[in-house]
Amino acid sequence: MQPLDYQKETPSQTAGPYVHIGLAPGAAGFDIFEKNFCPNPASPTAAGEHITVEGLVTDGTGAPIKDVLIEVWQAAPNGAYVDAPTADFTGWGRIVSDFETGEWSFDTVKPGPAEGRSGHGKMAPHITFWIVARGINIGLNTRMYFEDEAEANAADPVLNLIEQQHRRATLIAKRTERDGKPVYRFDIRVQGDGETVFFDI
Amino acid sequence: MAPLDELFPRDREWQPPALTPDYKTSVARSPSYPLLSLQNSVSETTGPVFGHDMLGPLDNDLLHNYATPGESAIGQRIIVHGRVLDENSRPVPGTLVEFWQANAGGRYRHKKDTYLAPIDPNFGGCGRAITDDEGRYHFRTVKPAPYPWRNWVNNWRPAHIHFSIFGHAFAQRLITQMYFEGDPLIWTCPIVKAIPDDRAIGQLIAPLDMNATVPLDTMAYKFDIVLRGTRSTLFENRLEGN
């Protein structure tokens, strides 16, 4: 028999407690690079509905994971993923939590509905999350959907894959307003009561 | 609509599981329900792009990127180089590789690290590079030292450098650690042993590379990284009724 000559993916290891040194040195407490990454996928001058997304990541005991690092990836307001970032919109953000409280937040514009897999129609607007921290051996993937998109959420091919209907709510951010700006609250429970649905993508 | 460049599914028997009780912190930070398997959509097959304008001239020189001009970090000078490939052995060009590490005494420049070993005033401990057309990257640094950590009463991390790699699809996103050939601590470490297959652990151990060593100057280690491969769509997977 011929051998299959594929390589194996490099195994993941935890990002560890000092992930900020490499990925967000400002948060680790020092200044080294001329240009640093921004937590916000869109600038204040980008076209679209400007929103804040915030939340807390908690562990199986209910305690906040204060050293979490999150990256997000999202479509533009027209539903397309950008293949070339502009000054106004990259679609990507890297977010560090507050070390004292674990609270995190970022500012962006609301994504539009992106094309689903062939024949599935549009997906409901969502933001893809990747979560790493000490104790997480391989990054956790999930999606955040929007409470005020009930009709699109009901038709979303990914939300509909979740067999236990009440668990779909773990992916839907609650909308409030603060100083006239929409704020979406997206708490992520890594384990235990109300555990967030995570994906093998 | 153009067909998706779908990724090979992640081999979950090769990758570490979420729950690895000997690495104690994983116990409360691992989901208890199984991951829900998704077929790829554009949300997974696309990803951010970073240009060379992001990088400064010393970003891949950890000996000097935090040093006072004319000075250098203290420790054993090493070059780390390698390629980023995918599972089809194709190079992954133009992708951002970030790295961070402890200094030659095993201390991190981080406000949460309180280990006894001193901070090196000339060493920041992080850098980054973008792979060239053949997927190559390289950087210069000092060899990090092992350091103790709180797990069992007496655990020491093997010397290691952390790596973060993007690839071209968000589903290729990877963080890992590189270890050094010959370090006996590798096989005692509960974080390393979160990986169930010793052959997979071997993929994280960089060999000494005398060919890349600069005589009378700097030793070298070679570390290749493999990201998930993409497959061409041979027959489109259709929904029933289509």
Quick: pLDDT tens for B153-177.
Answer: 999 999 999 999 999 999 999 999 9
Distance from CA of A12 to the nearest CA of B (A): 5
Mutate to test the interface with B, among A4, A14, A128 (most CBs of B within 10 A): A14
Q: What is the pLDDT of residue B236?
A: 64
Give the CATH number of domain A19-189. Answer: 2.60.130.10
Classify residue B30: in a domain, yes or no: no
**Could you list the active site residues of B?**
108, 147, 157, 160, 162
Question: Domain total for chain B?
Answer: 1
CB contact under 8 A, A134 and B39: no
Look at residue B33 and tell me if it is in a domain: no
- Establish if B22 touches chain A: CB-CB under 8 angstroms: no
Tens digits of residue pLDDT in A87-117: 999 999 999 999 999 999 999 999 999 999 8
Of the partner residues B27, B89, B110, the one whose CB lies closest to the CB of residue A21:
B110
Instruction: Provide the CA A18 distance to its chain's centre, in angstroms.
Output: 20
Q: How confident is the model at residue A64 (pLDDT cuts 50, 70, 90)?
A: very high
Give the per-residue pLDDT at B238.
58
Helix (H, G, I), strand (E, B) or coil at A194: coil
Task: Name residue B183's amino acid.
Answer: D
Number of Cβ within 10 Å of residue B168's Cβ equals 21
> Cα distance from A6 to chain B (closest Cα, Å)?
5
CA–CA distances in Å: residue B4 to residues A184, B175, B231, B233: 30, 24, 9, 8
Q: Is residue B88 part of a domain?
A: yes
Contacts of B42 in chain A (CB under 8 A): 75, 81, 114-115
Report the residue from A10, A71, A136 with minimal CB separation from B203.
A10
Q: How confident is the model at residue A119 (pLDDT cuts 50, 70, 90)?
A: confident
Contact B16 A11 (CB under 8 A): yes
Task: Select from A4, A6, A12 the residue whose CB has the most chain B CBs within 10 Å, as the one to mutate to test that interface.
Answer: A12
Q: What is the DSSP string of chain B?
A: -PPP-EEPPP-TTTSPPS--TTSGGGTTTS-SSPPEE----HHHH------GGG--TTTTBTTTTTSPTT----S-EEEEEEEEEETTS-B-TT-EEEEEE--TTS--SSTT---SSPPPTT---EEEEE--TTSEEEEEEEPPPPEEESSSTTEEEPSEEEEEE--SSGGG-EEEEEEETT-GGGGG-TTGGGSS-HHHHHTTEEPB-GGG-BTTTBEEEE--EEEPPEE--SS--PPTT-
- Model-level pTM? 0.96
Distance to chain A for B87, nearest Cα, Å: 4
Report the CATH number that the domain containing residue B156 is assigned in CATH. 2.60.130.10
Q: Which residue from A73, A139, A143 is facing B175, i.e. has the nearest CB?
A: A139
Residue with tokens 């959509």: B41
pLDDT band at B237, cuts 50/70/90?
Answer: low
Asked if B113 is an interface residue toward chain A (Cβ–Cβ < 8 A), one would say yes
B149 inside domain: yes
| CB nearest to A92's CB, from B44, B48, B112 | B48
Instruction: Calculate how close chain B gets to A179, using CA atoms only, in Å.
Output: 31
Please tell me if residue B170 touches chain A, with a CB cutoff of 8 Å. yes
- ipTM for the complex? 0.97
Domain regions of chain A by residue span: 19-189
Domain that holds residue B114: 7-23+47-226
- The answer to whether position B240 is within a domain reads no
**Does A143 sit within 8 Å of B109, measured CB to CB?**
no
Selecting from B35, B53, B162 the residue whose C-beta is nearest the C-beta of A22 gives B162
Count Cβ atoms below 10 Å from residue B221 Cβ, excluding itself: 22
Q: In this complex, do B30 and A190 lie within 8 Å of one another by their Cβ atoms?
A: yes
* Contact of B40 with B231, CB cutoff 8 Å: no
Structure confidence by residue, pLDDT tens digits, A121-134? 899 999 999 999 99
pLDDT at A2: 96
Residue B140 lies in a domain: yes
What average pLDDT score do residues A5-29 get?
A: 95
